[in-house]
Amino acid sequence: MRIEESVKLDFKDVLFRPKRSTLASRKDVDISREFTFKWSGRAYKGVPIIAANMDGVGTFGMAKSFIDNENQTSVALHKHYGLDDLMGFFDAHGGDSVWYSIGMTGDDQEKLDAFVKKRPGKIEKICLDVANGYSEHFVNFVKTIREKMPDVTIMAGNVVTGEMVEELILAGVDVVKVGIGPGSVCTTRKMTGVGYPQLSAIIDCADAAHGLGGQICADGGCTVPGDVAKAFGGGADFVMLGGMLAGHDQSDQATVEEGGEKFLSFYGMSSDTAMTKHKGGVAEYRASEGKTVKIPYRGDVQGTMQDVLGGIRSTCTYVGAKHLKELSKRTTFIRVSQQINNVFGES
């Protein structure tokens, strides 16, 4: 047993230090990024925010809204859509703005193989999504998918340490997904005691990825637009949002009315709710690592996206970053004491 005593930080532990700026307006800020992915060789240009591959978030409705509004963001579709529905969506909208998500089950792989056989070349981006990205089995799975799909951009995770980011990139991953336990409906930290403060995970993992020419996607822990900006300030190339995008028209879920107010359900994909819905229940060898909550109905997601993108632009003006890619270079974080956090009502 050993203990790491160096300070590790979450989003709530820091604030941006403002700096002198020549920017006259938020509209002068470019929040898009351009990358050429390490392994696929594909060029990317867009606003690097991804709707999470969760029920109620990574939906066809969300993807259509993002495409129709041309805000250059993308959606990781949840992995429980049927083959025919997926092919129909890709036929109608293409694969540029969506990530095709799979796990490591045999059914997931069979569906992917069938899709590729019937629609060759349609999938441009794939998200390999597991709760624990540290297993040797997962690394070997990544290598298999890379060999099978050499020209597809692969995002995979989740991990929280630099050495595992390096291993996944060397195995063929273009974008490593970073985060264990920070999500609003994730209970992994409570159930297992495993996790890592998200901002420090981003900082450490970004450093490791960029040294090898890869990218990272910060996944989880963002509850307000300022958190998204902090993730980019810490070095994230992409930020994945779950709870912030739940509860909208695009969630493709029925609303429930209580006391004159409308609500939608939102749950972690390792929750009892999700496993019962998609797998018939929680397997006897595991426990639920997610919870189910009610989210107030929020209307069209574009209102939320305007807040998120506007918040990022505003952050950039405060620190003098004309382009999003400059934000991490212009960032100085100020440690915030727990006493001040309590005054702000944070926990």
Q: 169 vs 255, which has greater pLDDT?
A: 169
Per annotation, catalytic residue among 127, 186, 222, 316:
186
Tokens for 119, please give them: 């629609």
What Å distances lie between residue 347 and 13, 106, 267, 337, CA to CA?
10, 41, 21, 12
Bridge pairing between strands 256-258 and 14-16: unpaired
Question: What local confidence, expressed as pLDDT, does residue 270 receive?
Answer: 66
Which are the contacts of 315, defined by CB distance < 8 A and separation ≥ 6? 16, 226, 229, 233, 321, 327
The pLDDT assigned to 179 comes to 96
Q: What is the pLDDT of residues 245-267, one digit of tens each?
A: 999 999 988 888 888 888 888 77
Give the other-Cβ count within 10 Å of 338's Cβ: 11
Residues with Cβ within 8 Å of 71's Cβ and at least 6 positions away in sequence, in order, are 47, 302, 305, 309
222 a catalytic residue: no
Give the mean pLDDT of the chain: 90
- Dist CA 120 CA 112 (whole Å): 11
> What pLDDT score does 347 carry?
44
Is 142's pLDDT higher than 90? yes
Residue ranges of E strands in the chain? 14-16, 33-36, 43-46, 49-51, 74-76, 98-102, 125-129, 153-159, 175-178, 215-219, 238-241, 256-258, 261-267, 292-296, 333-335
Strand partners, 16: 333
Instruction: Classify 130 as helix, strand or coil.
Output: coil
Mean pLDDT, residues 133-155: 97
What phi and psi values does residue 176 have, to the nearest 5 degrees? -95, 130
Per-residue pLDDT band for 76 (boundaries 50, 70, 90) equals very high
Section 125-145 average pLDDT = 95
**Buried residues in 239-255 as b, exposed as e (16+ CB within 10 A):** bbbbbbbbbbbbbebee
Residue 147: phi and psi, rounded to 5, are -65, -35
Nearest 5°: phi and psi at 156?
-150, 150
How many separate helices (H) and strands (E) can be counted in the chain?
A: 12, 15
Say what percent of the chain tops pLDDT 70: 90
The model's confidence at residue 243, banded by pLDDT at 50, 70 and 90, is very high
Pairing type for strands 256-258 and 261-267 reads antiparallel
Residue 280 has pLDDT above 90, yes or no: no
Q: Categorize the per-residue pLDDT at 177 as very low, low, confident or very high, splitting at 50, 70 and 90.
A: very high
| Phi and psi at residue 158, to the nearest 5° | -115, 145
Per-residue pLDDT, averaged over 142-149, amounts to 97
Please report the pLDDT score of residue 292 as a whole number. Answer: 77
Contact 116, 149 (CB under 8 A): yes
Q: How far is CA 42 from the centre of its chain?
A: 20
Coil, helix or strand for 147? Answer: helix
**pLDDT band at residue 185, thresholds of 50, 70 and 90?**
confident
Q: Residue 275: pLDDT above 90?
A: no
Residue-wise pLDDT for 202-238, tens only, equals 999 999 999 999 999 999 999 999 999 999 999 999 9
